[in-house]
Amino acid sequence: MLLNDLRTIYERDPAARNWLEVLFCYPGLQAVVFHRLAHWLHKIGIPFIPRFISQISRFLTGIEIHPGAKIGNSVFIDHGMGVVIGETAIVGDYALIYQGVTLGGTGKETGKRHPTLGSHVVVGAGAKVLGNIFIGDRVRIGAGSVVLRDAPSDTTVVGIPGRITRQENKSLTADALAHGKLRDVEAEAIRALFERVKALEKQVQELETQSSSPASHLDSEEVESCNTDWVIAEFLDGAGI
């Protein structure tokens, strides 16, 4: 299993140089190794020691994984500082988790209260996945997103709260590091509304041109409209849409 973890890191991290560096300098790998021991002790009912091991791991790596959490094969926690994985969380095989991610609960519920991640899921830096929700296979969660509801397989989740969109090119799921290709659904919606408003304004202007007595105060309104158009266009260009 450790060999699979090492192989996964080599495949996904271009900075990986040699196995010695990966083994001793990758806190994500170390945290997973600590967790497997703590989880095994937790399953057989050993008290205290599993939590103590998880706290040692947290102190050494900056990654907190509750001994009760279920971590699949070849899971890669990249950098990892600030990652928190709750007691009833389930992380599927080949998941990729970046620093600052929280797989947590939303209150003081009992029972299953943390998320379940499918296989090949990518969770961007600082994302929060909260509650007893299910994230399907090959889902990509954008950095800084807050996910509060289920996400079906082969989708992308971005924003606060997380909005679910279909991936435009499913072949991109093979490139887990392609975070720059995530959609900005909020900016897309704003652009669609902006284009619709512009079309309506054009229709109004055509009707006013056809009328016999156009309003005398149109010039100042047109100037103000040009200024607001520039502000909106600048925002949309900055959002990359």
| Tens-place pLDDT, residues 58-115 | 999 999 999 999 999 999 999 889 999 999 999 999 999 999 999 999 877 788 999 9
**pLDDT value at 227 more than 80:** no
Using 50, 70 and 90 to split pLDDT, how confident is the model at 52? very high
Separation in Å, CA 26 to CA 15, 23, 33, 106: 11, 6, 11, 30
Neighbours of 161 (CB within 10 A): 12
Using 50, 70 and 90 to split pLDDT, how confident is the model at 160? confident
Neighbours of 136 (CB within 10 A): 18
**pLDDT value at 121 more than 70:** yes
